[in-house]
Amino acid sequence: MRIVVLVSGAGSNLQAVIDAVQSGDLPVEIAAVGADRPGTLGLERSAAAGLETFVVNFRDYATRADWDAALLTAVAAYEPDYVVSSGFMRIVAPGFIDAFPGRYVNTHPALLPSFPGAHGVRDALAYGVKVTGCTVHFADAGVDTGPIIAQAPVAVLDDDTEDTLHERIKVAERALLIEVLGKLAAGSVL
């Protein structure tokens, strides 16, 4: 199973996937790692792991449609079986979803459909939920919408800050993402 991973930031979830692949625990080939901006730790991690990387810099395109088209072209060139959005902070266009039907997987640090969007951890904490968690789902062109593949709960502690809670969620998120990718590779996700 060939995947292209899309990242915007630190790429700690990506690193967990890289480690699982390199240790032989995850029978997946990371064809490339793509980003919407240059100079991120996620890209550095990928290069350090010897992976191919590409950047489709949002700021380099005059229109959103131009960027959408460039992202699709760049990803499709690797002919991935699945595209994984791992901390990729852009919503892709409907045309991207059409090009990879049921093959675009996203991770989100909350129990969807609660708390979608860029601040899922902060929003859950502000609401006062006692349990939050993470979701891996097939993404559509909405904001963190699409069929859920798997979820894991994480308890909110009384003294949690957004950072401490997010760090615990990411531990669960990494394990969940690797588990889901393993199942996709084995063909055991409907």
Residues labelled catalytic? 108
Q: In degrees rounded to 5, what are phi and psi of residue 82?
A: -135, 150
Binding mask 72-101 for ligand GRF (x = CB under 6 A): --------------xx--------------
Nearest 5°: phi and psi at 165? -65, -45
Does residue number 49 form part of the binding site for ligand GRF (CB under 6 A)?
no
Based on the shown chain and the rule CB under 6 A, indicate whether residue 116 belongs to the binding site for ligand GRF. no
Least distance in angstroms from the C-beta of 67 to ligand GRF: 19
Footprint (CB under 6 A) of ligand GRF, residues 122-161: none
* Residue of 49, 6, 51, 1 whose CA lies nearest to 27: 1
Could you tell me the smallest distance in angstroms from the CB atom of residue 164 to ligand GRF? Answer: 13
DSSP line for 13-48: HHHHHHHHHHTTSS--EEEEEEESSSS-HHHHHHHH
Segment contacting ligand GRF (CB under 6 A): 6-14, 25-33, 49-57, 153-161? 6-14
Let me know the angle formed at the C-alpha of 90 by 176 and 41, rounded to the nearest 5 degrees.
70
Closer to ligand GRF by Cβ: residue 65 or 89: 89
Counted residue by residue, the chain has a size of 190
182 lines the binding site for ligand GRF (CB under 6 A): no
Binding positions for ligand GRF, 27-46, rule CB under 6 A? 42
What's the rounded Cα separation, in Å, for the pair 36 and 182? 26
Does residue number 170 form part of the binding site for ligand GRF (CB under 6 A)? yes
The least distance separating ligand GRF from the CB of residue 189, rounded to whole angstroms, comes to 19
Burial class, 19, CB count within 10 angstroms (exposed 0-12 / middle 13-18 / buried 19+): middle
What is the residue whose two structure tokens read 């979803």?
97
Q: By the criterion CB under 6 A, which residues form the site for ligand GRF?
A: 7, 9-14, 42, 86-87, 107-109, 170, 173
